[in-house]
Amino acid sequence: MRFKYFVLLVAPLILSSGSADTTTILSVRDQVVDTFSHRSLRIHTKPTEDRAWWSRAPKLLLSIDDMKQLAKEGNSVDDIFKKLDLDKIATKDDKLDDVIDKLKRTMGNNPNIKQFIRYLDEVKAEPPVQTIVSSLDKKYGDEAVAKMLFNARESYRGENKVLAEKMLEAQYVKWYTEKKSTNAVIDLLGIEHKTWYENPFVKIWWEFVQLRAKYISKGILPVQPVEI
């Protein structure tokens, strides 16, 4: 599965619940290397505990023709997500590692996930990167998120790299709209002068400096990333 689709599947669950595990968020690059892989079902500690709904094959709710018609009507991605009952994959109390785990387990037996991806293709949907980055920053802090996105961008290839790059650029735009100075970003990233030349995250600072200079020269206060 392409990283873009994974982000679009997970985003509604993350943004609606606002709950996640810091360790998992910082290692999300490793979690989604192969979203079609299945882990063994967890051992239930309580004899009365039911197996989750995703352990059974859900019913196909919408046909391909239905999806095409809904796309023509301009239905939102969130609406389709709910129409396909994908919002039931996880609850608001689940942490992000639980969400990822449940999503992986449903890949092979939930036909509605494939239909959702078809809908994304029909409407050419893109991840709401600015919203996702702002949400992650609020919960985990700008430093952790920026470094995670930087590492993801440096590790990915192809369109996955492009998406990680867009999310990192959204981080820079957010800093600019918050009127962060270049010195403030140095402090935020915990960069010390004595390790300046050995610290790979100096590149984050330098890229922000370039974006900031470009926007200042144009006299704009952006709300969306622009091409540099």
pLDDT band (50, 70, 90) for residue 156? confident
pTM here?
Answer: 0.56
Q: How confident is the model at residue 95 (pLDDT cuts 50, 70, 90)?
A: low
d(C-alpha 200, C-alpha 188), whole Å: 15
Task: Find all residues with CB under 8 Å of 177, minimum gap 6, and list them.
Answer: 221, 222, 223
Instruction: Say if residue 164's pLDDT is above 90.
Output: no
CA gap 91, 85 in Å, rounded: 12
Q: Among residues 114, 11, 101, which one has the least CA distance to residue 61?
A: 114
pLDDT tens column, 4-53: 676 677 666 555 554 444 344 434 433 433 332 333 223 233 334 334 44
Tell me the HSE value of 111 on the side-chain side, using a 13 A CA sphere. 9
pLDDT computed for residue 41 by the predictor: 28
Confidence of residue 57 (pLDDT cuts 50, 70, 90): low
Residue type (1 letter), 216: I
DSSP 92: T
Q: Is pLDDT of 214 > 50?
A: yes
> pLDDT by residue (tens digit) across 71-94?
888 888 778 888 888 877 777 677
Alpha-helical regions (H) of the chain: 3-17, 22-26, 28-31, 64-72, 77-83, 96-106, 111-123, 129-140, 142-155, 158-177, 182-188, 202-218
